[in-house]
Structure 1
Amino acid sequence: MSKSFLALLLLFTGSQLFARTNDYLITDYGAVGNGNQLCTKYIQKAIDACQANGGGRVVIPSGDFLTGTLHLKSHVEFYLESGAKISGSLNRADYPKVAGERGLIFALNATDISITGRGEINGNGEAFFHGDNAPDRPFLVMIKNCSHVAVSGVSLKNAAFWTFRLLYNDQVNVDGIRIYSHVNFNNDGLDIDSKNVTISNCIIDTDDDALCFKSDSSFICQNVTVSNCVLASNCNFIKMGTASVGGFRNISVSNCVLRRASESRFRFWERSVPGVKEPVTGLAGIALEIVDGGIMDGIQINNIVMDGVQTPLFIRLGSRSNPTGAIKNVIISNVTAKSVSRIASSITAVPGFKIESVLLRDINIQSPGGGIKNEYLAKVPEQVNAYPENRMFNTSLPAYGLYLRHVSNIGLYNLQFNPLDDEARPAIYVEDGLGIHISELQAVTPIGGAPLVELSETSGVSFEGHAWNQSIPLLFLIRGAQSKNIIIAGKYSTNIQRLYELKDSTSKNAVSIR
């Protein structure tokens, strides 16, 4: 035997021996994988021994291990082999509160922790079914006040409450996990209230919000990237809020597919939202909400395909509890959406405040159409203190494409709105706007005399080109004494019969044609 081969053999043997001495097999500590025997204390013994010896890997082999709360410790990798299953106890007493919360897998004040493998963590959440917003249910996975966290490969299923909560952590990586939760109300997928987080290659299919950024305190959810995920929900798909005390900063979401959820046991939107005909749909594809006084600043969402959503974009600055916060510097681009309701996309604040510096670029939205004149003429309530949701103003809006109110410095570039049926509403409707730039709008002409774009008490508008060559009786209807400094530029088809009409004390000098 050559010396070089012997050296390689010793190196390989040494590495294998090291792996074995740092692995803690839960069955060696008394855990039985028959799905019936409660194994909490045995699995916890393995975790504690692993940490006491400087860290390593706690191994869950193939089998079904019934357990209550497990406390993940520093320097411990919780590894589920293929065929391994952690099943949550059906008894609430097996989930003692930790820092005011209950959870099946719980990590608190730990560093260098991970959950990995190809196994499944199942919360048996149907055992805790007590209706919407029922209190005191355990999270499936709760990681709080931790640093250097990695979660990869595992399946998370059937939570009693939210599936996976990241609260006040720093430096987290989530990669290639699968979440499926449809057995209870409030079955969120991944809830992020942390900083310096990367999330990629995940498939999330939930009854409630799929990917949800939260800010429950002055802690700011920030420096987060999400990429290459498939998201399905019966509520919101990509959501920031509702909790928004500190706010959200420097967040990027890209290259994601939003699709219909696999099932819907509780929602029945087709019974309550006019125009919705399918039994499985979600609310907003992208919902950005500040309603608790926080600040949203520096958000980019790019390359999104969505289907089965009622409202593609919903951006809301409100005053649910604390003084009104702020939303600014948001870019949403390269979105293709098929919506299933007459609740148009919207960007709205409350009186006295404005959502600022939002850019929408290269967005194509197909909608069912069917909007009627009464929906166009209806007054939209302010709903200052209301819970933010796409239908908070009503089950339709005065526009079929995009409704804006209390906004400033808004860029709308290459927006395409394509209703499948006739629409009696404008494509875009702006109230109390300042600094609105519209370029290369492609939108189907409304019926019944409605303009393509309506402006109410809106100033500082520039419009450059309508790209579709079709008959347009009226391009702009402009209302109100505050409507001024409106520039219509570019070349226009002879099919546009009138560029604008002035109403309600609008100055004759409000519009310039260039």
Structure 2
Amino acid sequence: MTSFNSRIICVFLAILFVGESALGQNDVLPYPLLTGETSKIFTVKANGLTIPVSSYKGIHYARFGQNGKAKLEIGFQQAGEVRVSPQHAFASAKDGIRLELEKPGYYVLSVGENEKLFVLADLPDVFTAQEKKDLVSVRTFNVDGSGKTLSTKEIQRAIDETSANGKILFFDAGVYKTGTLTIGSNARIYFSEGCLIDGSYDTSHYIVDKGFKEANKLRDGKAFSDNGQHMTYSRLILVEDAANVKIWGKGIINGNGAEVRNTGKPANLIRIRNSRNVLIEGVCSFDPAAWNTHILYSDSVTIRHVKLINDLNVPNTDGFDPDASSHVRIQDCFAFCSDDNVAIKTSNNSNLLRDCHDIKVEGCVFLTKKSALKVGTETKATVMRDIIFQNNYIVMADRGLVLYCYDGARFENVQFLNNYFEKGFADFEKKAIHFSIKERSGKGVIRDVLVKDCYFSSDFHSAIAINGLSKGHEVEGLVFENICLLGKKVTTVSGLNIQQNEFVGRIELKK
């Protein structure tokens, strides 16, 4: 699998033992701790500078800007085998290791089975001369930056006025308590590294779509559904009926998902709906009460260098959900999710339904206790085609490559290229590949699927399961090329060890 190393891993990372001195120029910028508490397990220094480490929702993370090389000293108060992902690098150490990063990137340091540190290093942002002239501080709109006062109205006014005037709304360091914010055309919003957008705990602060009833999971449990069509009609950030939107920076958007969900509110963190030419770049998107980023009925949407950290104990917290959308790019992102990392859908949420095509997910680092790279489960359009998952590193997942066609769509030209799967989550299905057609609200077809240059470790012991539905609703036209299962290269079709039913046809293995 040398092609994976050459394509996705652009940095050199060496494991050194504690005792060598940190060398090099201070080309790093520590970002402040904004969520959780200071970690009692991990410490991090980069080029001699202390990097704050947060203990948050059962994990630990460190954020910093990196311009040039960075020599990291990572200490930990935990014994056990040390694993660094996505470099397949292993070391044994009692209390610390050192890493050398030539470029920014996202890494997971695991110590034993339970403790994980996410190292999130980004290239610092640089404004052009014109952008500097366009910057307007959100504080000029009488917005409270202490987090003590709800500032939804003031922030909304700031968004509306700067968008109309061609300015960039700049969020200085601070905590901004808010309910639903709606973002329209021509908005440019920058969240600085010290900025925390803090979602309100109060469900009345989340706007529900007109004409729809939000099912409260606690008080109206029978009406609640985890089907994407009905699950939620509210969110913290809504980009709606908009064109030419840019949201970027290194700040954190926190949905406080556990608290909001405990009140019965399954709000999304971000929804992009009926919009085009939208870019979200660099921000940290934390702790939704349901799907993190829902891209609905939209075109030309790019999500780049975004970091998602969801709560493993909150259900339905997918990472990225392109839904009835086309020309979508999810690039070089990091996602830690309770549910699917990526699930491409056509759900008919908000009564918005159409075919989708041209969706690409590439260069990402993912962890999940469910499916990593998925099309489905909601598939209510006619055609879902031209979908590519490429050069992604999956640190942890229960299922790897997943096609669930349950509502009658036709899947065409789906490609899984050069994806690496390191570790299975706990002891559930641990399937490398799962393709399935079922009849829930229609009968579908899966055809022309390419799985090439993909590696699955020995953790994925259930290997491959593929099942069609009936005659005329088969899974067919599957091509496998340069595949490693259980850590070993497959050389024959029988070596794929596919568990399948009679409605699967035309499987080819290319060596």
- Cα offset for 1:428? 4.4
Equivalent-residue separation in structure 1 for 2:450 and 2:189 (angstroms): 38
Pick from 399, 406, 416: which aligns with 1:291?
406
SS class of match (1:432): coil
Match of 1:190 in 2: 320
Equivalent-residue separation in structure 2 for 1:142 and 1:431 (angstroms): 38
Match of 1:110 in 2: 242
- Equivalent pairs counted in the alignment come to 350
Pick from 358, 372, 376: which aligns with 2:478?
358
- Cα offset for 1:25? 1.5
Gaps of 5+ in 1: 1-14, 261-281, 369-400, 402-411, 419-426, 442-514
TM-score of the pair, normalised by structure 2: 0.64
Cα 1:135–1:315 change in 2 (3 A) is farther
Equivalent-residue separation in structure 1 for 2:208 and 2:458 (angstroms): 42
Cα root mean square deviation, aligned: 2.5
Runs of 4+ in 1 over 6 A off after TM superposition: none
Match of 1:265 in 2: none
Check whether the contact 1:311–1:339 (CA below 8 A) recurs between aligned residues: no
- Cα offset for 1:136? 4.2
Equivalent-residue separation in structure 2 for 1:437 and 1:21 (angstroms): 58
- Cα offset for 1:20? 5.4
Note the 1:462-481 alignment, pairs <5 A: none
Match of 2:198 in 1: 87
Greater RCO between the two (CA within 8 Å, min separation 6)? 2
Check whether the contact 1:312–1:339 (CA below 8 A) recurs between aligned residues: no
Pick from 128, 137, 161: which aligns with 2:266?
137
Pick from 183, 207, 225: which aligns with 1:96?
207
Equivalent-residue separation in structure 1 for 2:510 and 2:185 (angstroms): 55
Note the 1:39-438 alignment, pairs <5 A: 39-53=151-165, 55-99=166-210, 100=212, 101-130=233-262, 136-182=265-311, 183-193=313-323, 194-217=325-348, 218-246=353-381, 247-260=383-396, 282-309=397-424, 310-322=430-442, 324-340=443-459, 342-352=461-471, 353-366=473-486, 427-428=497-498, 431-432=501-502, 436=506
Match of 2:146 in 1: 34
Gaps of 5+ in 2: 1-127, 213-232, 425-429
Check whether the contact 1:125–1:160 (CA below 8 A) recurs between aligned residues: yes
Check whether the contact 2:403–2:434 (CA below 8 A) recurs between aligned residues: yes
- Cα offset for 1:437? 5.5
Q: What is the CA deviation profile of residues 72-126 of structure 1, one whole-angstrom value per residue up to 9, with x for unaligned ones? A: 1210111101111100000000011135421111111011111101111000111
Cα 1:56–1:440 change in 2 (3 A) is closer
Equivalent-residue separation in structure 2 for 1:111 and 1:190 (angstroms): 20
Match of 1:388 in 2: none
- Cα offset for 1:433? 6.1
- Cα offset for 1:19? 3.9
Check whether the contact 1:195–1:223 (CA below 8 A) recurs between aligned residues: yes
Equivalent-residue separation in structure 1 for 2:188 and 2:485 (angstroms): 44
Amino acid at match of 1:254: Q
Equivalent-residue separation in structure 1 for 2:505 and 2:160 (angstroms): 60
Equivalent-residue separation in structure 2 for 1:301 and 1:325 (angstroms): 20
Equivalent-residue separation in structure 2 for 1:87 and 1:146 (angstroms): 24
Q: What is the CA deviation profile of residues 154-213 of structure 1, one whole-angstrom value per residue up to 9, with x for unaligned ones? A: 000011111111001011111111001015111111111110111211011111111111
Q: What is the CA deviation profile of residues 292-338 of structure 1, one whole-angstrom value per residue up to 9, with x for unaligned ones? A: 0111101111001102230010001111122x111111111111102
Check whether the contact 2:164–2:186 (CA below 8 A) recurs between aligned residues: no
Cα 1:113–1:440 change in 2 (3 A) is closer
- Cα offset for 1:26? 1.1
- Cα offset for 1:360? 1.5
Amino acid at match of 1:299: V
- Cα offset for 1:342? 4.7
- Cα offset for 1:137? 1.8
Check whether the contact 2:405–2:436 (CA below 8 A) recurs between aligned residues: yes
SS class of match (2:422): strand
SS class of match (2:484): strand
Amino acid at match of 2:340: D
- Cα offset for 1:434? 7.2
Amino acid at match of 2:273: K
SS class of match (1:28): helix
- Cα offset for 1:22? 3.0
For structure 1, which segment, 69-78 or 427-436, has the greater mean C-alpha deviation from structure 2 after superposition?
A: 427-436
